[in-house]
Structure 1
Amino acid sequence: MSLLAAGGGDGFHAPGLEEFYPPSFLFVGTPFEINRMMLLRIAATIVLILIFWLGLRKARIVPTRFQSLIEMALDFVRRDIAYGMLGKKDGDRFFPLLAALFFGILFLNITKVIPFLNISSNANIGMPLVMALVVYVVMIGAGIKAQGGGAYIKSQLFPAGVPKPMYLLVTPIEFVSTFIARPVSLTLRLMFNMLVGHLLLVLCFAATQFFFVDMGGLMGGFGILTLLGGLFFMLFEAMVSILQAYVFALLTAAYIQLSVSQDH
């Protein structure tokens, strides 16, 4: 749905949640049905793979500009997220996951500021939930592999240095924090940031069309303000798209580090 479509031509219509659940138009009635949100996910994934393939398929010792940009982006994830949170050894182990999450989320997010796409498929809970569950499985698996099953559960639910009577209070809190709050927070943080940002953009541009087309005259002046506001929020949401990809990958690294750490 275009950002301008919500304005219509018969009065102002506030943006709603219906466009986050668009009707399917391919393979309807089958497990493989495709709607606009799914199409955006497929398109963003293809573009991401294509960019990395074109940039790295003939990697040179003296890189081209395009190759340099891709290597700089990968190095950012490796050094600032993977090594920064996990150290070199574990950072190298989990770098592929962290890079896939960072760039995957970024490309799925950034579609909301691209004209004629104008929405992030991460504004629907499906994709953020899948990625959070992947992180959840990796987090627990890494902890069990590093410490053993019993030692991992003990380190997460019974922190060292806490007086034994306090475990009655601390252990339930640690259980909720580790095994429930982490995946839920990863999912909801990403989804709501994308959802609210989209609604804000739709509101600005729908109001712009309303003032320019439906009101006109002196009231059209307010359309200039809402248009400028919409353009500002587009830049802001582009920054948010990058930031949310970074935060998701960073928290993933932090959760893995807490799982593999022996002195949690």
Structure 2
Amino acid sequence: MTPFLAVEVTYGGEFEGALDNINALFDMPTLVELGPLSINRTILIAFLMTGIAAFLFFRAFKSPTVVPGKLQSACEMVIDFVRGIAVDIIGPVKGPKFVPLLTTFFVFILFMNLAKLTPFLMLPPTSRIAFPLVLAVTAWVIYVSVGIREQGFGGYFKELAFPPGVPKALYLILTPIELISNLLLRPFTLMVRLFANMVAGHILVVITLVTIHVFLYPRPGLPVGILALLASPVVFIFELFIIALQAYIFTMLTAVYISSSVEPAH
């Protein structure tokens, strides 16, 4: 089969050439080489969004005032929101110590996700599996470490493998399920949930914009372009909701897992 095609297009004349490889959509060519490190577009976007988040919080709390300005109020609202999650789930005694960690998770994921709708970027780093993977592994290391610190190495894994209040005959079935669930499925679902939602949302935004670009011309396909243009605000508002929701879900579930390590079941 020849790689060259000649296709009759109703409104575009003839196309002669090679179709792009679909894998090109997933390739991120290296832009900068720093010895063994390679920096591509995704990494640059992550650096940019992290820098913006750090700058905003630095400016907000560089010289805090009793009567906060708009930026300080906004950042304080974010911290108070995450503090509420920590206190409600982990508890009023041990919860506050995890507020910095959970705030970092929430803000980092939120800003990475926002790159999806940021002009000239339009690519959330969290749609690349490496970012959700690192975040999920970090959460896993933290809640396992907290469990070992709070209950001791043997006590923590005994609690995982042999939940109290269960008939001993069921441990043959329950123990492997509990170990797999707590040590493998928890980080896996954290990773997949964030990754899948960001990929799906990114595809939805791209399809909407491409449809507007292709069909918004005075020709028979014009109604499709108009419909896509009218639907685009709804799509973007929906994606903003998903962006914030995924940051919240990841933070909340991390708090739940830490809580299970801090306060074992009895």
> Structure 1 pair 228/18, CA: closer, same or farther in 2 (3 Å)?
farther
Residue 91 (structure 1) aligned with residue 95 (structure 2)? yes
> Structure 1 pair 20/107, CA: closer, same or farther in 2 (3 Å)?
farther
Moved over 6 A (4+): none
Distance 1:242 1:165 in 2: 44
Could you tell me which residue of structure 1 aligns to residue 172 of structure 2? 168
1:204 aligned residue (191, 203, 208)? 208
More strand by share: 2
Q: Deviations over 1:125-168 (max 9, x none)?
A: 11111111111111111001111111111111111111111001
Could you tell me which residue of structure 1 aligns to residue 3 of structure 2? none
Could you tell me which residue of structure 2 aligns to residue 3 of structure 1? none
Could you tell me which residue of structure 1 aligns to residue 68 of structure 2? 63
Q: For residue 117 of structure 1, give the secondary structure of its aligned residue in structure 2.
A: coil
Distance 2:199 2:36 in 1: 25
Q: For residue 140 of structure 1, give the secondary structure of its aligned residue in structure 2.
A: helix
What is the count of residue pairs matched by the alignment? 251
CA contact (8 A) 1:211 1:220 kept: yes
- In the TM superposition, what is the alpha-carbon distance from 1:227 to its structure 2 partner? 2.1
- Kindly indicate whether structure 1 or structure 2 has the higher relative contact order, using CA contacts under 8 Å at least 6 residues apart: 1
State which drifts further: 88-97 or 171-180: 88-97
1:144 aligned residue (143, 148, 162)? 148
Could you tell me which residue of structure 1 aligns to residue 229 of structure 2? 227
1:54 aligned residue (55, 59, 82)? 59
Distance 2:23 2:202 in 1: 10
The normalised TM-score by structure 2 is 0.89
More helix by share: 1
CA contact (8 A) 1:25 1:34 kept: yes
> Structure 1 pair 44/17, CA: closer, same or farther in 2 (3 Å)?
farther
Q: Deviations over 1:205-251 (max 9, x none)?
A: 212222125xx423211111122233321111111010000000000
- In the TM superposition, what is the alpha-carbon distance from 1:65 to its structure 2 partner? 2.4
Could you tell me which residue of structure 2 aligns to residue 131 of structure 1? 135
Distance 2:25 2:234 in 1: 23
Residue 250 (structure 1) aligned with residue 243 (structure 2)? no
Gap runs ≥5 in structure 2 = 1-11
CA contact (8 A) 1:101 1:249 kept: yes
Question: Which letter maps to 2:256?
Answer: A
Could you tell me which residue of structure 2 aligns to residue 26 of structure 1? 32
Question: Which letter maps to 1:178?
Answer: N
> Structure 1 pair 43/31, CA: closer, same or farther in 2 (3 Å)?
same
Distance 1:169 1:178 in 2: 15
The normalised TM-score by structure 1 is 0.89
> Structure 1 pair 17/200, CA: closer, same or farther in 2 (3 Å)?
farther
Distance 1:17 1:202 in 2: 16
- In the TM superposition, what is the alpha-carbon distance from 1:45 to its structure 2 partner? 0.5
Could you tell me which residue of structure 2 aligns to residue 36 of structure 1? 41
Distance 2:25 2:63 in 1: 41
CA contact (8 A) 2:115 2:121 kept: yes
Could you tell me which residue of structure 1 aligns to residue 264 of structure 2? 262
Q: For residue 94 of structure 2, give the secondary structure of its aligned residue in structure 1.
A: helix
CA contact (8 A) 1:156 1:259 kept: no
- In the TM superposition, what is the alpha-carbon distance from 1:197 to its structure 2 partner? 0.5
> Structure 1 pair 78/20, CA: closer, same or farther in 2 (3 Å)?
farther
Identity, % of aligned positions: 38
